[in-house]
Amino acid sequence: MIKDSWTFKPFTDRPIALVDEQGSWVADFPMELPPDFLRGLYRDMLAARLLDEKFVILIRTGKTSFIAPHAGHEAAQVGIAQALQRGHDWLFPYYRDMGLMVAMGVPFKEIFGQMLGNAADPAKGRQMPSHPGSRALNIFTVCSAIASHIPPAAGAAISMKLQGTGQVSVCTFGDGATSEGDWYAGINFAAVQGAPAVFACLNNRYAISVDLSHQTAAHTIADKAHAFGIPGYHVDGMDVLASYFVMQEVIERARSGHGPVLVELEVYRYGPHSSADDDLRYRSKEEVEAAKRRDPIERFRRFLEKQGLWNLEWDEMLRADLKAQIDRALEEAEAMGEVPALAMFDDVFAEPTWNLIEQRALVQEELR
């Protein structure tokens, strides 16, 4: 059914928030989500946070070579995941979306296999760490080149429109991507073609070490949607319910033939840009600590408590269960061992070419 009226308005002066810092529902419509769904949002955010902490241990112990911390992004990532039709829609993520992978249902074991680059990785160790994908869940493999995945997301959405599949292409990126030519080309093409695409910017204000004020003179990233002739939504990405409700509506909007949308979700990353970054060179400890006082998980915990859906005993059981799942998944992934050297010749072509067959035989002979 095609709707002509929508709950949320584009180009708002302030970010759209539905739950305030004290955990109170402040929207002008009733919150009618089932308790299990609400608790599931909390569970997924907590799982993402614990996974981020485990990644720090992996890099410190030399078991992986690269991490892109995602703590602080959990509410936006979980809200996006819950708004998608998993395995039907297509997701084009970026390297900081590991919490999004968890919420989409990518198994912990696969995530750790990708981080280790070993035989538990469905991609057989071909990518650098923090660059997952999933054929089963229609998740496009992450690319390191900033914004290079945006034209493919636009192209996929145009294909969905031409074939009438009823799917939507959702593409996530950081604020740094919005300075790239691929970003403008991809969104512009999707807008001209009226493609079912949603472009979601997780704006954490720092593209590596470059503050947002040095990235753009625009008031917000969402304002840039004016140039493409599409709606631009400005959302509090530290509010999981605002992230979920807005993404749900704009995905429905794109699915029903209204064309693409740009969504800016304001978040804050607590960690450095990556394991190779010293964030104290461009921001203060005080700024980071102030951002942590707006923590998305703690904010939603207060909300659940006011709904009678949270208590300390349940929280402790949940944390213990998630930690056990994560520890077990890491052990299972490590036990899979290295990817066989000859696997480099797999999956290159549907039928191997004569020269690949020869090269494979030479490598096999060398390994004897």
pLDDT tens for 45-97 read 999 999 999 999 999 999 999 999 999 999 999 999 999 999 999 999 999 99
**224 touches 232 (CB < 8 A):** yes
Query: Which residues carry out catalysis?
Result: 269, 273, 282
**224 touches 263 (CB < 8 A):** no
Identify the residue with better confidence: 144 or 2: 144
- Decide: helix, strand or coil at residue 91: strand
HEC string of 113-154? HHHHCCCCCCCCCCCCCCCCCECCCCECCCCCCCCCCHHHHH
Q: Which two tokens stand for residue 143?
A: 């690319």
Q: Which of 24, 60, 10, 48 minimizes the C-alpha distance to 239?
A: 24
Phi/psi of residue 14, nearest 5 degrees: -120, 155
CATH class of domain segment(s) 35-337: alpha beta
Rounded Cα gap, residues 188 and 174, in angstroms: 18
Rounded Cα gap, residues 253 and 197, in angstroms: 10
Q: What does the pLDDT read at residue 1?
A: 47
**23 touches 306 (CB < 8 A):** yes
What's the DSSP call for residue 16? B
Mean pLDDT of the chain: 96
Which residues, at least 6 apart from 290, have a Cβ–Cβ distance to it below 8 Å? none
Helices (H), 7-73: 35-60
State yes or no: pLDDT of 119 exceeds 50: yes
Rounded Cα gap, residues 64 and 98, in angstroms: 15
Pairing of the two strands 210-211 and 206-207? antiparallel
Q: Which of 79, 139, 76 minimizes the C-alpha distance to 107?
A: 139
- Decide: helix, strand or coil at residue 25: strand
Q: Which of 90, 95, 93, 171 minimizes the C-alpha distance to 138?
A: 90
pLDDT, tens digit, for every residue of 340-361? 999 999 998 999 999 999 999 9
Q: What does the pLDDT read at residue 368?
A: 87
Identify the residue with better confidence: 260 or 276: 260
Residue type (1 letter), 3:
K
Q: What does the pLDDT read at residue 4?
A: 66
Rounded Cα gap, residues 98 and 25, in angstroms: 28
Rounded Cα gap, residues 368 and 364, in angstroms: 7
**43 touches 318 (CB < 8 A):** yes
Domain boundaries in the chain?
35-337, 343-367
- What percentage of the chain exceeds 90 in pLDDT? 96
pLDDT, tens digit, for every residue of 167-215? 999 999 999 999 999 999 999 999 999 999 999 999 999 998 899 999 9
| Residue 72, CB-side half-sphere exposure with 13 Å CA sphere | 22
Q: What does the pLDDT read at residue 253?
A: 97
Q: What does the pLDDT read at residue 271?
A: 95
Rounded Cα gap, residues 333 and 227, in angstroms: 46
- Decide: helix, strand or coil at residue 198: strand
**End-to-end Cα distance, the chain:** 63
Angle at 86 between CA 222 and CA 75, to 5 degrees: 45
Q: What does the pLDDT read at residue 5?
A: 80
